[in-house]
Amino acid sequence: MAEKGDGTRARILDEALRLASRDGLEGLTIGGLAAALDLSKSGLFAHFGSKEALQIAVLEHAADRLRELCAPAKGLPAGPERLRFLFQVSLDWIDDPQRPGGCPITGACFEFDDRDGPVRQALIRLQRNGQERAVEGFDAFAHPSRDRHQLAFEFRAITLGYHHASRVLREPRAREWARNALESLIEKAMRPA
């Protein structure tokens, strides 16, 4: 029974993720989601309780999916190869045609940057987890004189630059630019500061 419930929830959240990617997290409504899934609004409302709870569930669902995609990294030696793998997952995630409007977490960052409340708090928590993963990734191979938080900042900046170049400008060279920038960053990380 739990499985059936989980399956339904996952299906609901997959669709919510698609809608949030297209319309933004604020554009996602229980009514719109109910219509897209051919479910009753009252049933969906009973499931999530509020629009904010639905928004948070969508963000966490996106983070879970991304974590699954990153999991094979653990099989790689800690070092630049693992970082390259995580980077590749991020670029593929940004371009995934299942999410027509790009990463809903990134979109939500620019929607909720100035709106305090539980959705913003959930977003910050997920973003800090991502930052910690990047810090750990550099920890494995960066020169001891290098500041890992500086490197993690630059790592995220490249993925944001890629989101912009690929999805906004639709630049054919976006991936090449992003990969070159990552290789520079890896080289810099290994040099003494």
Binding residues for a copy of itself, rule: CB under 8 A, are 21-22, 24, 26-27, 100-102, 106-107, 109-114, 123-124, 127-128, 131, 149-150, 153-154, 156-158, 160-165, 167-169, 173-174, 177-178, 180-181, 184, 188
Q: Smaller CB distance to a copy of itself: residue 8 or 127?
A: 127
Tokens 């997952």 label which residue? Answer: 89
Tokens of 56: 């948070």
Neighbours of 106 (CB within 10 A): 20
Alpha-carbon 117 to chain mean position? 20
Minimum distance of a copy of itself from residue 9's CB (angstroms)? 26
Where in the chain does DSSP place strands (E)? none
Give min distance, CB of 192 to a copy of itself, in A: 13
Minimum CB distance to a copy of itself, residue 29 (Å): 14
3-class state of residue 38 by DSSP: coil
Q: Which is nearer to a copy of itself, 9 or 175 (CB)?
A: 175
40 or 180: whose CB is closer to a copy of itself?
180
Residue 51, burial from CB neighbour count under 10 angstroms (0-12, 13-18, 19+): middle
Closest CA to 80 of 140, 157, 31: 140
Give the nearer residue to a copy of itself in terms of CB position, either 84 or 179. 179
